Amino acid sequence: MPIIVNVDVMMAKRKISLNELSERVDLTLSNLSILKTGKAKAIRFSTLEAICKALDCQPGDILEYVPDQNH
């Protein structure tokens, strides 16, 4: 998928653990892990907003578009 999720990068920059982020955004550890590893197929804007608020960042800081080189 050409959309890369860089939640782990922002978590490292903000020195926040997966458990702490999970509590702050009210998302289960398993769902947050799926998002963090890039296995998620979608994200709600409300979840994106909560993550941006918790990490004090912009959506572009955690979402990146990398075109598929095969097309």
Per-residue pLDDT, averaged over 13-35, amounts to: 95
Residue 20: give the domain boundaries. Answer: 3-65
Helix, strand or coil for residue 51? Answer: helix
Owner of token pair 């922002």: 10
pLDDT digits (tens, 9 = 90+) for 25-63: 999 999 999 998 889 999 999 999 999 999 999 999 999
CATH number at residue 28: 1.10.260.40
Q: So what's the pLDDT on residue 1?
A: 67
Per-residue pLDDT, averaged over 15-23, amounts to: 95
Does residue 71 lie within any of the structural domains? no
Domain count, the chain: 1
CB atoms within 10 A of CB 1: 10
Does residue 70 lie within any of the structural domains? no
Confidence of residue 71 (pLDDT cuts 50, 70, 90): low
